[in-house]
Structure 1
Amino acid sequence: MSNTYVTNRRYIHRLLSKTATSKEVLIVTSYDYFLQKHDLALLLKKYKEVILIPHSNDDDYLLNHTVRPLLDKFEKIHLVTNPQYDKRNRIIYELVVQKNKSIRITTVYDFCEKSLKKVYIPDNVSEINPNLLTIPTFGRRIRYPKKIIDVTISIILFLFTFPLWILSYFKIKIQSPGPVFYFQERVGMNNVAFNCIKFRSMGLDAEQNGASFSKKNDSRTFSYGSYMRLSRIDELPQIINIFKRDLSLIGPRPERQVFTETFDELIPYYNMRHNIKPGITGYAQVMYTYGAGVYDARHKLMYDLYYIKNWSLVLELKIILKTAVVIFGKRGR
């Protein structure tokens, strides 16, 4: 697919696609941080153009010089609105009506869930997503099949990977003397702390300067530790956490309290991810590239909350399959 990305006066981003299946234009009147590359690739298969209009101080000029020309090219407009920008939405609607063109309007909240399969998390802590006024906890209808999946796959996985446990034990001992297992306190369901168990992949002095996010090509890891992180072998001991009922196989990844406290202050709805058990892997892990910090935590939360709101057996199995692809493709963090 051949795409061209053009920036027009810093206010508008236009993406063109030769493979779009319709001649409809998508206009997003919202700060575009929630759209990732794979989101845009998906949308460009459906829409001829995707126009992202972030906030500006001169909406009248911006819309009349960017939106109006589009109406000469397209008969159909799909407007994704954010109530934060009512003035801008009204201007676009009036322009469309004047041109006697077809328009359909979707809120950014519904658009994210239905088209992008994630929940919109406002960038502004004062903004409210009406789709998140309530979010469920998992009842028996979900907990029981999840428990069956957790126990069954964990037993199979343990038996299948047992030789790796033995190999990892000796490799770690040889390359980095010290404990083989690493215990780290993480925040679980209902904000209850538990000790997450992993194979140690870093030196004993890895956090001598305080807690920090791990990252790709982390200099704190030893040779086999890097391989374990890439292949996710270091996560295998978390099977024990599943048997101890601290973790589920699928769910939001558990974070350390020092980070969750910060995220809870800066990211709207962040604490809702603690409504269910965290997981060894999750929807956010297979849908979002590795990253650390508030920006990435907000993006991951979009997927975590979608998983909680829209859980299904199909989605659960899809995440398991995607995780297998990540592992065997050695695309770990």
Structure 2
Amino acid sequence: MSNKTILNAIERKSILFIGDFLIIGFSLRNFILRAIDYQDDETLTTKVLIFIIGLVAYFTIAYVLDLYNLEKAPKTLTLTAIRVFSIAFIFTIAEFIITTIIFDFAYWRIHLAVFTIFCPIQLVLWRLLFNYIFKFVPITKRVLYLYDNTTEDSLNKNIGLINGDDEKETHHKVVSTYLNNEISEAESDLNDLKKDVDTWIINTRNYNHFSPKMERKMVNSILERKDIITYTSFYESIYEALPIDSHNDSIYEILQLKNNKIRYVQSITSFCFNFILAFFTGIAFFSVVPFVYIMNIFFNRGPLFYAQLRVGKYGKEYKVYKFRSMVVNAESKGAQMATKNDARITKFGKILRKFRIDELPQILSVIEGNMVFIGPRPERKVFVDKLNEVTPFYNVRHLVKPGITGWAQVKYKYGENMEDSIRKLEYDLYYIKNKSVVLDLRIIFKTVTTILFSRGV
């Protein structure tokens, strides 16, 4: 029996979080007690409030800037150190500015400098120590991939997804594969299965078609503290999407959406999120209209807005509004998907798209009740019909109202073709299946990152 313990991603992130929490807490304590020059006898409540503001500020900045995304961490220690120092330095400056604005404090310059410089240094040293420790602690799980004749055609692709690539570190590595069918289920074949594995990932047409010998082998593996999971479960956990093209009976797992009983807290919270975000988006929209109108006169002659029919909840079409970013009559040759460097986009339109300003008029569709702030992005019927021919799952995304931003937009690159649309569908289905207040908050934070770094679409 293997006694090797492998920490999963959540456990490693928790260790990193605890270390950051202790360092930030200690640094804030010194900042509050030494750097601030109190003119009056400040109350304990004020000091606690400053401490809480600091913690919230740091972890918000760290999350928005992907500091805890270990799957896409910098490849070198130098880049890691620069990244962590920069984020921590931004935090210290933000804490100084926030407390100055709210409380109008004076500061002891030496202690303020110590906080501003040494807090980032401590976090860099902790991150380097963390990376050094996990050079020796096993974090990659050795995988036995079990498949059958129906999933054999996607063998290499699925193994590649399990192993990950330069953009995604899964911490799993396939070291053995096994074809599950009547011919290969001889006792000798089962005995040949590698014992030095930590996880079984099963991708078969039907999970009930295992021989008694194979079932005993699985039970014994569980008793040896090995994980046995389906390919769909693995994919959903690691990629936070659903594998709609895995060609197995994951149709049950994919459509196993959470029941639709009213969750009052979630419903009320989602309404509040959408109302507040729509309110501020509306203010931003009406504020930029004069600017966009004037710039259009010089750099983007033609109508200010364009309206287009999109497919909404339950397949009902509605009008979506955007600032026009393409030349007039951009689709004179028929409907076509926009690409990242589309020649039809005007120079001013590129600016509108880069900062997502062109999306702001969609708030009108939110006001009309056809959209919400967070949900799957709406698509045109001509493309919906084509995608429905490719995959039977596409209409599932129409169970909810479309949104201005969504899980697919913050998790995937700019979509340019049908393949990208199907890939984004995997994220939309994941959102529908796992919709929650926490997931909505993650989308809000990631949307900020998307705008700042021009990611997604």
The answer for the alignment partner of 1:251 in structure 2 is 375
More contact order relative to length (CA 8 Å, sep ≥ 6): 1
**Judging changes above 3 Å, is the alpha-carbon distance between structure 1 residues 2 and 318 closer, same or farther for their aligned structure 2 residues?**
closer
Corresponding residue number in structure 1 for 2:410: 286
AA paired with 1:172? N
Q: CA deviation at 1:226?
A: 0.9
Residues 287 and 206 of structure 1, relative CA distance in 2, 3 Å threshold: same
Residue 143 (structure 1) shift:
3.8
Give how far 1:286 is off.
0.6
Maintained 8 Å contact 2:256/2:433: no
For this pair of structures, how many residues does the alignment match? 306
Bigger Cα Rg: 2
Closer/same/farther in 2, CA of residues 20 and 265 from structure 1, 3 Å limit = farther
CA shift in 2, pair 1:224/1:115, >3 Å? same
> Does 1:163 pair with 2:287?
yes
Instruction: Assess, with a 3 A threshold, how the Cα gap between structure 1 residues 283 and 206 changes in structure 2: closer, same or farther.
Output: same
Counterparts of 1:1-333 in structure 2, within 5 Å, are: 21-22=138-139, 24-28=141-145, 29=147, 31=154, 32=157, 35=161, 41-44=168-171, 47=172, 49-50=173-174, 71=194, 75-84=196-205, 103-124=226-247, 127-135=249-257, 136=259, 139=262, 141=264, 142-160=266-284, 162-331=286-455, 333=457
Aligned residues: CA RMSD: 3.9
Cα distance in structure 1, aligned partners of 2:443 and 2:348: 27
For residues 145-202 of structure 1, the C-alpha deviation after alignment (integer angstroms, 9 at most, x for no partner) is 2222112111122324543222112212322322100101000000000001000000
Q: Is the 8 A contact 2:200 2:228 kept in 1?
A: yes
CA 1:259/1:23 → structure 2, altered by over 3 Å: closer, same or farther?
closer
Identical aligned pairs, as a percentage? 32
Q: SS in structure 2 opposite 1:184?
A: strand
Using a 3 Å threshold, how does the CA distance of structure 1 residues 20 and 40 change in structure 2: closer, same or farther? Answer: farther
**Does the CA contact (< 8 Å) of 2:412 and 2:456 recur in 1?**
no
What is the distance in 1 between the residues matched to 2:285 and 2:310? 24
Asked if 1 retains the 8 angstrom alpha-carbon contact of 2:232 and 2:250, the reply is no
> Structure 1 pair 137/258, CA: closer, same or farther in 2 (3 Å)?
farther
Within 2, Cα distance between the matches of 1:139 and 1:264? 29
| CA drift at 1:23 | 5.5
Query: Higher mean Cα deviation, 193-202 or 259-268?
Result: 259-268
Q: CA deviation at 1:20?
A: 7.3
When normalised by structure 2's length, the TM-score is 0.58
Aligned mates of 1:228, 1:19 — CA distance in 2: 48
Counterpart of 1:118 in structure 2: which amino acid? A
Q: Is the 8 A contact 2:141 2:198 kept in 1?
A: yes
Report SS of the residue matched to 1:43.
coil
2:205 alignment partner, SS class: helix
| Higher helix proportion (structure 1 or 2) | 2
Deviations 1:178-230 (A, max 9, x none): 21001010000000000010000001121011000001011001111011112
- Contact 1:230 1:332 survives alignment (8 Å): no
**Secondary structure, aligned partner of 1:219:** coil
The answer (yes or no) to whether the contact 1:231–1:332 under 8 Å persists in 2 is: no
- 1:128 offset after TM fit, Å? 4.7
The answer as to whether partners of 1:230 and 1:331 remain within 8 angstroms in 2 is no
Classify 1:227/1:38 alpha carbon distance in 2 versus 1 (closer, same or farther; 3 Å): farther
SS at match of 1:211: coil
SS of the residue corresponding to residue 80 of structure 1 reads: strand
Instruction: Give the residue type in structure 1 aligned to 2:170.
Output: L
Query: What code does the residue aligned with 1:185 have?
Result: L
Q: Residues 212 and 51 of structure 1: is their aligned pair in 2 closer, same or farther, counting only changes over 3 Å?
A: farther
CA contact (8 A) 1:182 1:200 kept: yes
Is the Cα–Cα contact under 8 Å of residues 187 and 194 in structure 1 kept in the other structure?
yes
User: Is the CA contact 1:117–1:306 (under 8 Å) kept in the aligned structure 2?
Assistant: yes
Distance 1:193 1:137, change over 3 A: farther
Letter of the 2:252 counterpart: P
Q: Can you give the 5+ residue segments of structure 2 that lack an aligned partner in the other structure?
A: 1-73, 77-133
Question: In structure 2, do the counterparts of structure 1 residues 128 and 76 end up closer, same or farther at CA, with 3 Å as the change threshold?
Answer: closer
Over 3 Å counting, the alpha-carbon distance change for 1:179 and 1:23 in structure 2 is closer
* Inter-CA distance 329–22: structure 2 relative to 1 (3 Å threshold): closer
Deviations 1:272-303 (A, max 9, x none): 10000001110011111112333222221111
CA contact under 8 A between 2:284 and 2:360: conserved in structure 1? no
Taking a change above 3 Å as real, the CA distance of residues 201 and 322 of structure 1, as seen in their structure-2 partners, is: same
In structure 1, the gaps of 5 or more residues are: 4-16
